[in-house]
């Protein structure tokens, strides 16, 4: 009896197993056609090291211009076809096969070049044609709301070297070339947090960040893809806890001169079936599945998002829960922070301590 109670307490206090990595896209520019050439999909460690090319991102065997990649524990990996001059589309990315599946009709008049999920798993993106911040449905690509971006009361004119990121506090950031801004998602107002004025030795100019994500390089860091150096496209870390101190993580990993790109943080769950994200696969997760069976909008219990089970809660999701029942599961890894015990856990712990004292 003592043994089982101790195990219960340890399971309750043990930090859930989490793993995360960075996923990115980048594309060169064809000066003759004015188009961006087939996009490369790549993977990095969460500290911005260990570059691994996953090949060209393709739809139906054909490469294309993809940007604005973003990842969510609920919705998976999303990106936008570049749509130079307008006509971006929301796509679902399968990194294992490096394929993109179109989810939305063309977004006429919009060229999406940066995106991120916020802490509430809302998908935000930036349109470089209208200079707007736009919220999209991560399932259908339908536009939900938009607001013009402004700096010091004036309209903010964006270039294609732009991205969105969300820091550990939940603040949405706009990374635009050499500057980083806090974004008020209600008004579109920008507040400059930092501007990099330190020149690179190879280029004589500061890095031009086309893609960025919050990662961890000994401290909370902004990991950025620099496209300013011709074929020398580097990865840098900016220490958010130490005045944005810049560190070179990786030199050029490709002979290709990338012009646009994006980065996102992807959760790699240790086990699946934890549908209420409490860190354990148990009967409470079955209740979540049962109560959402057949749903195409509430996808918290969408453990199997492949084939006919894509974007719907069905029997396949039940099997995922059943096969992982009892496992200590991974939870949202976007903050990379050790969670504090909730009130319910504290009550259970107190009960367990009292019970142990009576037994001993």
Pairing between β-strand 66-72 and β-strand 76-81 as defined by DSSP bridges:
antiparallel
Cα–Cα dist 314/296, whole Å: 10
CA 228 from chain center: how many Å? 24
Q: How large is the C-alpha radius of gyration of the chain?
A: 22
Question: How many residues does the structure list for the chain?
Answer: 360
Tokens encoding 328:
């200590």
- Give residue 254's pLDDT: 56
The dihedrals phi and psi of 47, each to the nearest 5 degrees, come to: -95, 10
Contact 271, 324 (CB under 8 A): yes
Cα–Cα dist 111/116, whole Å: 15
Quick one: DSSP state of residue 279? S
Residue spans of the chain under pLDDT 70 = 1-19, 29-36, 84-85, 229-232, 252-258, 268-271, 327-360
Tokens encoding 101:
């599946």
From 83, 5, 87, select the one nearest 39 (Cα to Cα): 83
List, for residues 93-139, the tens digit of each pLDDT value.
998 899 999 999 999 999 999 999 999 999 999 999 999 999 999 99
Farthest-apart Cα atoms in the chain, separation: 80
Cα–Cα dist 326/135, whole Å: 37
Cα–Cα dist 42/312, whole Å: 28
CA 58 from chain center: how many Å? 20
- Give residue 268's pLDDT: 62
């Amino acid at each position: 009896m003592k043994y089982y109670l101790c195990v219960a307490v340890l399971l309750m206090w043990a930090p859930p197993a989490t793993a995360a990595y960075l996923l990115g896209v980048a594309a060169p520019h064809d000066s003759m056609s004015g188009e961006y050439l087939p996009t490369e999909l790549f993977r990095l460690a969460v500290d911005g090291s260990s570059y691994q090319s996953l090949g060209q991102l393709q739809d139906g065997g054909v490469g294309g211009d993809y940007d604005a990649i973003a990842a969510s524990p609920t919705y998976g990996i999303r990106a936008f076809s570049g749509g130079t001059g307008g006509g971006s589309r929301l796509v679902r990315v399968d990194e294992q096969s490096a394929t993109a599946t179109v989810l939305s009709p063309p977004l006429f008049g919009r060229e999406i070049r940066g995106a991120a999920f916020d802490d509430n798993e809302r998908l935000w993106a930036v349109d470089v044609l209208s200079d707007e911040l736009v919220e999209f449905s991560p399932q259908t690509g339908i536009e939900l709301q938009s607001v013009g971006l402004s700096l010091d009361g004036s309209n903010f004119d964006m270039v294609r070297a732009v991205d969105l990121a969300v820091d550990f506090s939940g603040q949405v950031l706009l990374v635009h070339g050499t500057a980083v801004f806090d974004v008020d998602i209600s008004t579109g107002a920008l507040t400059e947090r930092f501007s990099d004025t330190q020149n690179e030795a190879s280029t004589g100019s500061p890095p031009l960040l086309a893609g960025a994500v919050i990662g961890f390089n000994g401290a909370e860091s902004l990991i950025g893809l620099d496209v300013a150096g011709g074929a020398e496209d580097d990865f840098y870390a900016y220490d958010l806890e130490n005045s944005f101190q810049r560190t070179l993580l990786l030199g050029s990993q490709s002979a290709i001169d990338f012009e646009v790109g994006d980065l996102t943080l992807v959760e790699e769950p240790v086990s699946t079936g934890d549908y209420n994200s409490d860190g354990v696969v148990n009967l409470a997760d079955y209740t979540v599945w049962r109560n959402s069976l057949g749903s195409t909008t509430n996808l918290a219990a969408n453990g199997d998002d492949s084939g006919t089970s894509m974007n719907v809660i069905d029997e396949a999701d039940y099997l995922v829960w059943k096969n992982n029942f009892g496992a200590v599961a991974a939870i949202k890894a976007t903050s990379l922070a050790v969670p504090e015990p909730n009130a319910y856990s504290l009550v259970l712990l107190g009960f367990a301590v009292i019970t142990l004292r009576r037994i001993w």
